[in-house]
Amino acid sequence: MRIADLYSRRSEQNTHGRAVISFEFFPPKTDAGFRALFHTIEDLKQLDPGFVSVTMGAGGSTRGKTVDLVIRIQRELGITTMAHLPCVGFRRDDIRDILRQLEAGGVDNVLALGGDPPKDAVNFERPADGFTYASELTEFIRSESELSIGGACYPEVHPRASSAEEDLRNLVTKVEAGANFLITQLFFDNAKYFGFVDRARAAGIDLPIVPGIMPIATAAGVRRMLDLGGGELPPELDAELAEVASDDEATRQLGVRWATMQCRELLEHGVPGIHFYTLNKSPSTREIFENLSER
Ligand code: FAD
């Protein structure tokens, strides 16, 4: 199933109103981790996701695992899947191979990403025939396949962009290159998302812009992710996190409460979907759904 069609065919039959719910996972390092992840996905399947996605480490570190996982989830669990695909470290032929493997495995969707150069790389250079920007990768995928293509976007501006205006111009280029839908970097202040959607619409982008929501698991983890991908904690959440920092369960509960509040407002505004950064765990996401169904 093409994800672009899921967003355009949102119907009353969907158990989450008109929103397409999706879950993001990363490939575990060990076999035991794989088995545990399958249980997590089976558990979350009961929440009727429109699709699930699997990240791919920049530089291709998880290439085989990501491709195997999306194909297996789709075949064995019957859920539509999407493989993440970063530019970093891949040659054109590598990308072509991956696209062929996905197509042969029945996967219809790919998230075309820039990726980040490896942390320890001093003068990182892309392979001679590789891609630098997600828009170039998107154009290539579009020319090579019929896959439905997602792209990333940043309500609080990508950290390497020189300005919000430049970031938005680059996003327009990515859309023109053939992206079918956009998923946001995680954010904790819905006003930032709503403002970004307004700016994107004014710039002529009319694709679904799907909010990415992460239930906070640990204070250190969320700060690290915001450092890498950009964005800030609202002062109120920052203060509450500091108060519970030494208590893992209290931190998790705060994460569930905050994400529930965000989701409730986003759904009321008729967002096309919600993409959950699950961190490969199901309890927090499950609790958010239970909270939402209580309203
Ligand atoms: P791009 O669209 O290429 O943008 C990167 C930067 O370059 C931006 O500042 C942009 O403004 C600028 N730019 C774009 N085009 C041009 C141009 N033509 N000229 C000059 N500047 C330009 N990373 C992974 O490695 N693996 C994953 O699985 C993964 N999954 C993700 C999922 C989501 C939903 C999101 C939001 C991010 C994910 N990332 C992942 C992180 C992402 O790869 C990084 O944030 C990366 O730094 C940027 O990716 P991008 O696709 O936005 O890149």
User: How does pLDDT run across 34-91, given as a tens digit for each residue?
Assistant: 999 999 999 999 999 999 999 999 888 899 999 999 999 999 999 999 999 999 989 9
Task: Give me the pLDDT at residue 222, please.
Answer: 95
Q: Are 149 and 142 in contact (CB under 8 A)?
A: yes
Q: Is the CB of 158 under 6 A from ligand 1?
A: yes
CA 218 to chain centre: 19
Bridge partners of 112, per DSSP, are 85, 151
> Would you mind telling me the total number of residues written for the chain in this entry?
295
Q: Are 26 and 227 in contact (CB under 8 A)?
A: no
- Pocket perturbation via mutation, ligand 1, pick of 119, 132, 170, 207 by most ligand atoms within 8 A of CB: 170
Please determine, for residue 118, whether its predicted confidence score (pLDDT) is greater than 90: no
Q: What is the mean pLDDT of residues 78-107?
A: 97
Minimum-distance ligand 1 atom for the alpha carbon of 133:
3
Report which protein residue has its CA nearest ligand 1's atom 42: 115
Please determine, for residue 15, whether its predicted confidence score (pLDDT) is greater than 60: no
pLDDT confidence tier of residue 13, bands split at 50, 70 and 90: very low
Where helices occur in the chain by DSSP H, the ranges are: 3-8, 31-45, 63-72, 92-104, 134-144, 164-177, 190-202, 219-229, 235-244, 248-268, 283-293
Task: Give me the pLDDT at residue 247, please.
Answer: 96
pLDDT confidence tier of residue 16, bands split at 50, 70 and 90: low
For 33, the token pair is 């981790």
For residue 10, what is the enclosing H or E element? none
Q: Is the CB of 212 under 6 A from ligand 1?
A: yes
pLDDT confidence tier of residue 129, bands split at 50, 70 and 90: very high
Please determine, for residue 117, whether its predicted confidence score (pLDDT) is greater than 70: yes
Minimum-distance ligand 1 atom for the alpha carbon of 166:
11
Can you give the pTM of this predicted structure?
A: 0.97
Q: List the Cα angle 68/72/77 in 5-degree steps.
A: 155
Minimum-distance ligand 1 atom for the alpha carbon of 116:
47
Task: Give me the pLDDT at residue 122, please.
Answer: 64
What span, in angstroms and rounded, lies between the C-alpha atoms of 168 and 158? 10
Percent of the chain with pLDDT over 70: 96
Q: Is the CB of 77 under 6 A from ligand 1?
A: no
Please determine, for residue 275, whether its predicted confidence score (pLDDT) is greater than 60: yes
Q: Looking at this protein, which amino acid is placed at residue 25?
A: F
Task: Give me the pLDDT at residue 128, please.
Answer: 86
Task: Give me the pLDDT at residue 12, please.
Answer: 45
67-71, 127-131, 140-144, 184-188, range with the lowest pLDDT = 127-131
- Pocket perturbation via mutation, ligand 1, pick of 3, 56, 133, 157 by most ligand atoms within 8 A of CB: 133
What span, in angstroms and rounded, lies between the C-alpha atoms of 277 and 175? 23
- Pocket perturbation via mutation, ligand 1, pick of 69, 113, 131, 169 by most ligand atoms within 8 A of CB: 113
Task: Give me the pLDDT at residue 17, please.
Answer: 61
Cα of 237 to ligand 1 centre, how many Å?
Answer: 26
Minimum-distance ligand 1 atom for the alpha carbon of 85:
28
Known active-site residue 236: no
Please determine, for residue 24, whether its predicted confidence score (pLDDT) is greater than 80: yes
Q: How far is CA 124 from CA 116, 118, 119, in A?
A: 10, 8, 10
Q: What is the mean pLDDT of residues 198-222?
A: 97
Spot the catalytic one: 12, 24, 76, 265: 24
Minimum-distance ligand 1 atom for the alpha carbon of 151:
51
What span, in angstroms and rounded, lies between the C-alpha atoms of 148 and 1? 9
Q: Is the CB of 55 under 6 A from ligand 1?
A: yes
Report which protein residue has its CA nearest ligand 1's atom 45: 229
The model's pLDDT over 132-154, given as tens digits with 9 standing for 90+, comes to 999 999 999 999 999 999 999 99
Q: Is the CB of 134 under 6 A from ligand 1?
A: yes
